[in-house]
């Protein structure tokens, strides 16, 4: 067992090692092979390989001299117009070293840039095209202004499928001499929600306790409501037993240290496993969304969750919310 962070240790080094984004990789690789790329915009959920692909592009283009020709900025930390006017412009106006005639600037989380900074970036992209290419990554491309999007080739990354993540986890388990049960992997995948970075971090945290990864060990590490506990709460509600449902909910929140928003997400998932009318499932989901909005706006967690349980109890008795 090493002290390295596994997300960095097992970050793919070549295009062929990236899993779950075959169509994107095929198109990006063809651009890189021509030793000339346009401005690129990588959009998609967290943990799907956007930063990794950007780094591979740079290493494939510049080989050993990639560090001298590459600038990486996290736009969520450095999001103002001064960063674009100073750091980015100073780097963009200098010539590249080596055979490739341009440098590369990677702006991670570019959707966090202010609108003024994006306007300044638009002009910089225009003025320094001969000496610099930009790679932008974001979770939501709708937050990037249209003039920037029109200057970039947009690649959309998808949430990773279970089989793609399993391929990566099997490689890590083989390298680190770990064993993982199918149930444990299913739980890891459910908690990660398609985010490969999150699942690798959870695996490393669990492996620090024991090389034999079980579902109980994962539930110990992950501070989320267990599906079985949430199902018990919902069963009490639909049976009309508000007191026991409330008591069980309190146990989950206090003993397992689970937040209200995490419980809401667990309830929303578990609704679709209930043996009730499909129309009622839709109404319960709508009610769950309403309570989630109130929590985000700052309402008291336990009061709002009690109100949700009350709605479920009425649904169980009357067949409607």
Whether residue 1 has pLDDT greater than 70: no
Q: How far apart are the first and last CA of the chain?
A: 52
CATH 1.20.272.10 fits 227-318, yes or no: yes
CATH architecture for the domain at 21-156: 3-Layer(aba) Sandwich (3.40)
Contact 234, 274 (CB under 8 A): yes
Q: What is the pLDDT of residues 22-73, one digit of tens each?
A: 999 999 999 998 888 899 999 999 889 999 999 999 999 988 889 888 988 8
What are the CA-CA distances from residue 28 to residues 54, 135, 154, 171, 302 (Å)? 10, 12, 10, 25, 48
pLDDT of amino acid 79: 59
Average pLDDT, integer, range 256-283: 84
Greatest mean pLDDT among 3-12, 75-84, 288-297 lies in 288-297
Phi then psi for residue 21, to 5 deg, are -130, 45
Let me know if the fold of 21-156 is the same as that of 227-318.
no
Instruction: Show me where the domains of the chain are located.
Output: 21-156, 162-221, 227-318
**Topology, domain 162-221:** Helicase, Ruva Protein; domain 3 (1.10.8)
Cα 59–148–114 angle (5° rounding)? Answer: 100
pLDDT at 18 over 80: yes
Per-residue pLDDT of 170-198, as tens digits, reads 999 999 999 999 888 988 888 887 888 88
**pLDDT score of 92:** 81
Among the residue ranges 109-118, 205-214, 256-265, the one predicted with the least confidence is 256-265
Q: What pLDDT sits at residue 312?
A: 87
Q: Quote the CA–CA distance of 242 and 233 in Å, as a whole number.
A: 9
Other CB atoms closer than 10 Å to residue 261's CB: what's the count? Answer: 12
Q: What's the chain's average pLDDT?
A: 86
Give the pLDDT score at 104: 92
Residue with the two structure tokens 């009318």: 277
């Amino acid at each position: 067992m090493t002290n390295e962070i596994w997300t960095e240790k097992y970050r793919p080094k070549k295009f062929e090692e990236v899993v779950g984004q075959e169509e994107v990789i095929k198109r990006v690789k063809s651009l890189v092979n021509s030793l000339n790329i346009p401005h690129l915009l990588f959009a998609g959920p967290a943990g799907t390989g956007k930063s990794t692909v950007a780094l591979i592009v740079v290493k494939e283009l510049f080989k050993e001299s990639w560090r001298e020709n590459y600038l990486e900025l996290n736009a969520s930390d450095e999001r103002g117009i001064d960063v674009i006017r100073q750091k980015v412009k100073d780097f963009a106006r200098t010539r590249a070293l080596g055979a490739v005639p341009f440098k590369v600037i990677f702006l991670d989380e570019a959707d966090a840039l202010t609108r003024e900074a994006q306007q300044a970036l638009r002009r910089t992209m225009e003025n320094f095209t001969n000496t610099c290419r930009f790679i932008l990554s974001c979770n939501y491309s709708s937050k990037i202004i249209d003039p920037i999007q029109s200057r970039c080739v947009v690649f959309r990354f998808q949430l990773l499928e279970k089989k793609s993540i399993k391929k990566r986890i099997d490689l890590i388990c083989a390298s680190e001499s770990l064993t993982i049960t199918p149930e444990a992997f299913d739980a890891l995948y459910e908690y990660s929600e398609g985010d490969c970075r999150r699942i690798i971090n959870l695996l490393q945290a669990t492996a620090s306790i024991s090389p034999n990864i079980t579902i109980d060990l994962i539930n110990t590490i992950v501070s989320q409501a267990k599906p079985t506990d949430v199902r018990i709460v919902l069963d009490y509600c639909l049976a009309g037993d508000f007191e026991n449902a409330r008591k069980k909910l309190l146990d989950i929140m206090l003993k397992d240290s689970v937040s209200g928003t995490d419980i809401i997400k667990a309830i929303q998932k578990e609704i679709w496993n209930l043996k009730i009318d499909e129309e009622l499932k839709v109404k319960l989901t709508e009610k769950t969304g309403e309570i989630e909005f109130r929590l985000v706006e700052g309402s008291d967690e336990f009061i709002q969750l009690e109100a949700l349980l009350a709605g479920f109890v009425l649904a169980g008795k009357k067949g409607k919310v």
